[in-house]
Structure 1
Amino acid sequence: MQSVNDNSAIEASHVAAHDRVAELRAIYDSRDASAAWLLCDQWGESAVAYRVISPDLSAEDITYGELRRESERFAAALFELGLRPGDRIATLMGKSREYLVTLLGIWRLGAVHVPLFTAFAPSAIAMRLNGSRARAIVCDEGQRGKLSAEGDVAMPSSLLVISTGQPGQEGYSFAGITEQHEPGFPAATLGPDAPLIQIYTSGTTGDPKGVVVPLRALAAFRTYAEFGLGLRSDDVFWCAADPGWAYGLYFGILATFSTGTPSVLLQGGFVPETTMEILFREQVTNFAAAPTVYRALRSADLVVSGPLRLRCASSAGEPLTPEVNLWARSVLGVTVHDHYGQTEAGMLINNHHHPMLHHDVRPGSMGHAMPGWKAVILDPEKDVELAPGQAGRVAMKVSESPLMWFTGYDGDSAKTAGKFTANGEYYLTGDNGLVDEDGYFRFSAREDDVIIMAGYRIGPFEVEASMSTHPAVAEAAVIAVPDEVRGEVIEAYVVVKDGTVSSPELAKEIQRWVKTHYAAHAYPRAIHFIGALPRTPSGKIQRFMLKQRRLEELGVRA
């Protein structure tokens, strides 16, 4: 039982956290707010922003002074090409020095960043470029080939392409146009409502939806950096998530830039041995990654080269399973804290690292609502708040959530309406869960069928749409099944066209088709051929029936 002194200390912490949220809102809600100043220029000339580590583990530091000068030159080049504040500029780039300069150059100009995941196939890229009305794209030279309009893929006709290839090649060269300009391009000052990012999320009932992130959302992102991640000025931070997705961009990039915390940026894909070596060699103190990273490290059963300095480890993107922390406490020396959020909001509910908001981590819980957000559980039928212990819809009360920045999907009023209750009082996360008497929230299920694999949110509709373009496929439905390492993996049920014979060879061909026509990470790991898909009377596919059948086959309880 808590004492009066304990309760007083908790109340004082809540007041202090509330005051800090108000301070951050004042900074990012200022009418003269400048993204370049807030994310780069305010930090010391010689302060290290990132240590960029190559696949061969060679490293290069980049300071805020270098980022300022190089992004000023790149912004000047963009301006000369005719790009202006508000224009959408996409990136199709891996993690690199050029990527960091590109982001700051876009924001210095006052333009809007459209992130693209490098595993996307041309059709997925074209949809996002056309949907955002992008005027330009900056890409790695190895990604340039995806931008050719072929077949049914229609790229924007007037798209400016800037690649990291050598000057003199087709299109514009990043180095070539940057070197033609001197530093000194003035930073745009556009205020809190100016769009900063246009990022796409997916669901089950249509195309991916565009989320426009305004500058003032940085207040929410920094609040999470300070309270959720517990970032300190003396940290060495490493967020292993890919910045082509929301968590990696919001908190692998913007959390660093907004706090000035020195960070690690690793080029190339995830390798367990490399990850453990960097945690040791760089003496990382604060680490964030998807649960699949921790599970893969656990499965690899690696011997650490020497003592680690980790004081904080965080997980986001999917629920964290208990066995991870049984391993983490003995090998990493810390407990991994589970965090919960969305593309449309940033992080909402966390097992916070900041000592001001410390609570014991309870297995299976995603923690407490973050300062600046009022999280509740709603009755799914009446949209009224439920008492602790009752399962319902996880929602945020808008009037008591000063960090709320999402106002709707770009050009999609119908989908926007579905994210709020009819009276606009609550923001609906689309997830189900419950909260206990101590304020701990637990995730139970997603309302839609979005699949979370290795931290990536994958909409079945996009995968199914890609599969349906295969000449042999009449219909397809995608489900998620449990996976020890990735959390979930995609499996598909396929109805073949008349006259087509199903076979293992055809299954492999369909898998390759999804890899090349949608995204390399989102192909179905297994394909089951079926005579007909289960449907509702209105014709909607009943994916839950397919999933229930598959789980029974696997001997897994639903």
Structure 2
Amino acid sequence: MSDPAQLLRDWIATYHTPTTSVAHLLCDRHDPHTTATTQIGPTLEPTTLTYGQLHQKSTTLAAGLHHLGIRPGDRIATLIPKGIDLTITALATWRLGATLVPLLTSLAPSAIHQRLTDSGTTLVIAQDDYRTKLDPGPHQTTPPTWHTATTGTHPLRDGDHTLHTLTTSDHTPPPTPPTTGDTTLALVYVSNLIGPPRGARVPVRALAAMHAYHHYGLGVTDDDTYWNTADPGTAYGLYHGLISPLLAGHTSLALQAGFFDPELTLDVLGMYQVTNFASDPTTYRTIRAATKTLPPEIIVQRLASAGEPLAPDVIDWATDLFGIPIRDHYGQTELGWCAGIPNNPELPQADAPLPPGAIGPALPGWNIHVLDPIDDQPAPLGVYGRIAIDHTTSPLDWFEGYHGYDDTLDIRRTPDHTHHLTGDTGIMDRQGNLHFSTRDDGAIITRSYRIGPTEVETILTSHPAVDECGVYAIPDPIAGHLVGARVVLAPDHTGGPHLADELRDWVSTHLAPHAAPHTIDFVDELPRTASGKMRRARLP
């Protein structure tokens, strides 16, 4: 049995050096005959990629990208679903010392354009199905400053390239540039309560936290068949659907279905003999609504959930159906995952009973406090306060700020810089278990997607019929929450079902389908304080 403290020190020493090679850590050091990714098609047919093939294909792609002018520090954005093409593209990006900017394929062109402009992206690589989202349109107020490549062979605009050409080129691979633990590995965009989404800078040293969660939080072993269903455009999907299995030299599954189907999920669990399954609360709630009994071929041994707290009745259901509980874990894009009952039996907490509503203790490498909101001192046990990471005693704490925000650390740390503030509230019980309460930033979590209310409000008010609006969360038994909107109409416009449908389409087209309001109410005015500020808490 390994000592967690020593293992953490080893990972930190390995992933935070002046000469770190990300491609070596994620690919080149592993057995070339081991399967890195098994891509599952819509009819459940497998396509495999070994670590040896990943080395060869990503090296060739890196040479092609270098020939196009990509250099260390450049940003490469991806509009590619989970699977082999994304894995190869990410490794090629990191071979060049460039930064990955993973984008949700469900985003609308205007939302994609905003992220590409903000990140200073040099090259966008898109699957054929999504390339048209990069075409010029009214959402582009400035000419694009990036080039485009696609994964397929469809006709391209002048100046575009295909991955097929780049991965069969005979260009000489450039030498792998050394990176440090502080080199930016990725920019992952996270919704913001006020203003546009911000790109969280993920440094190379964050790999230690990802490996630790993979080992202790998820408990993935060499013998597991591991499947994480999260979208690689999200933190959970990027960190633990793509990166952490590669760090550990494990095989992961990637289902390319284009939609979620609980029956299809069960088919994959059974056909591929998945033993370690990580997903989001919406997936578990949807499976519960559609499933009465479990097919005998399903042999899953570990379940994990992240994104929002799981209701106790969902955990009880999973325990009855699968014979094992779902381990609910707490984390953020800016942290990774840092609290919850571990799935690794090496830790004594793995079998510890949890009181109702508790998430669990801090995972190895983290020290979590709940602070009094007035004086930033630890709040009494059982008393609500601000969830914070003790930065001085949490060796895995890696967050260093948002792209383009110089004062980020002053906002996210206490005045003495001893604590990393999460923006969430909760309590710590006497057994050291964290209980999550609310997100201070007002984000709406729907179907495990994080949505900033003001981002939806900005889109809605750009419609000529809308004078002003307020967006809020509506509890939902499947999605967790849905988006609701109160809309004050501009003069000479009349509300009704037709206009409500038009506004939903407007948000879906200009932001993303998952951000479209489920409920739209037309009102004469929004609730406001005496000073005129919108009272968001009164919107529901």
TM range (shorter): over 0.9
How far the C-alpha of 1:177 sits from its partner, in A, is 2.0
Task: Count matched residues.
Answer: 534
Partner of 1:210: 199
Answering whether residue 4 of structure 2 is matched by residue 17 of structure 1, we say yes
- 1:69·1:183 contact (CA, 8 Å) conserved in 2? no
Letter in 1 for 2:206: A
Task: Report the equivalent of 1:267.
Answer: 256
Letter in 2 for 1:325: I
1:305 is aligned to 2:292: no
Aligned residue runs from structure 1 range 148-297, under 5 A:
148-154=135-141, 157-166=144-153, 169-170=156-157, 171-181=160-170, 186-268=175-257, 269-297=259-287
> Residues 37 and 83 of structure 2 are in contact (CA less than 8 Å); yes or no, is this contact kept in structure 1?
no
1:181 is displaced (CA, Å) by: 2.7
In structure 1, distance between residues paired with 2:419 and 2:206: 18
> Partner residue of 1:348?
338
Query: Kindly, what percent of the aligned residue pairs are identical?
Result: 40
Q: Which residue of 1 aligns with 2:27?
A: 40
1:507 is the counterpart of 2:500 = yes
Q: CA deviation at 1:363?
A: 3.4
Report how far residue 157 of structure 1 moved: 2.6
Deviation per residue, 1:486-505 (Å, 9 max, x gap):
11111111111011101110
Over residues 462-481 of structure 1, what are the superposed CA-to-partner deviations in whole Å (9 max), with x where a residue is unaligned? 11111111110111111111
* 2:454 alignment partner in structure 1: 461
Aligned to 2:100: 113
**What is the letter of the counterpart of residue 40 of structure 2?**
I
Once the two structures are TM-superposed, the CA of residue 394 in structure 1 deviates from its matched residue by 0.4
User: 8 Å contact 1:394–1:430 — kept in the other structure?
Assistant: yes
How far apart are the structure 1 equivalents of 2:502 and 2:311?
Answer: 34
Instruction: Please say if residues 129 and 155 of structure 1, whose CA atoms lie closer than 8 Å, have aligned partners that are also in contact.
Output: no
SS in 2 for 1:123: helix
Q: Which residue of the partner structure matches residue 46 of structure 2? A: 59
2:329 to 327, 339, 342: 339
Alignment partner, residue 3 of structure 1: none
Structure 2 counterpart SS, 1:198 = strand
Q: Is the CA contact 2:218–2:344 (under 8 Å) kept in the aligned structure 1? A: yes
2:57 pairs, out of 70, 73, 80, with: 70
1:164 partner letter: T
1:420 and 2:432 correspond: no
| Contact persistence 2:271–2:297 (CA under 8 A) | no
Matched, 1:132 2:125: no
Q: Distance in 2 between matches of 1:414 and 1:25?
A: 26
The answer on 1:88 being equivalent to 2:78 is no
Find the counterpart in structure 2 of residue 447 from structure 1. 440
The amino acid of 1:341's aligned partner reads G
1:141-184 Cα deviation digits (max 9, x unpaired): 11111112212424653311001231653221110222123685
User: Cα offset for 1:303?
Assistant: 4.4
Find 2:398's aligned residue among 386, 394, 405.
405
- Inter-partner Cα distance in structure 1 for 2:125 and 2:323: 40
Residues 518 and 349 (structure 1), Cα distance of their counterparts in 2 relative to 1, 3 Å cut: same
Larger deviation, residues 353-362 vs 133-142: 353-362
1:376 aligns with 2:369: yes
Q: Measured at CA, do residues 66 and 186 of structure 1 come closer, stay the same or move farther in structure 2, by a change above 3 Å? A: farther
Checking the alignment, whether the CA contact within 8 Å between 2:101 and 2:188 is kept in structure 1 is yes
8 Å CA contact retained: 2:64, 2:171:
no
323-332 vs 367-376, which moves further: 323-332
Per the alignment, do residues 360 and 182 of structure 1 end up closer, same or farther by CA in structure 2, a change over 3 Å counting? Answer: farther
Normalised by the length of structure 1, the TM-score is: 0.93
Native 8 Å contact 2:446 2:514 kept in 1: no
3-state SS, counterpart of residue 463 of structure 1: helix
Q: Deviations over 1:171-208 (max 9, x none)?
A: 21110222123685543321211111011111211211
Secondary structure at 1:488 match in 2: strand
CA–CA separation in structure 2 for the residues paired with 1:156 and 1:24: 43
Query: Could you say what secondary structure the match of 2:482 adopts?
Result: strand
| 1:126 and 1:154 in contact (8 A); partners too | no
The structure-2 alpha-carbon separation of the partners of 1:80 and 1:407, relative to structure 1 and needing over 3 Å to count, comes to same
Residue by residue over 1:430-481, the C-alpha shift from the partner in whole angstroms, topping out at 9 and shown as x without a partner, is 1110011111110111112101112111111111111111110111111111
Q: Is the 8 A contact 2:368 2:388 kept in 1?
A: yes
Corresponding residue SS for 1:137: strand
The 10-residue stretch of structure 1 (283-292 or 361-370) with the greater mean CA deviation from structure 2: 361-370
Paired residues of 2:281 and 2:448 also in contact (CA < 8 A) = yes
- Aligned residues of 1:478 and 1:490 also touching (Cα < 8 A): yes
- Say what the alpha-carbon RMSD is for the aligned residues: 1.6
Distance of 2:408 and 2:470 partners within structure 1? 22
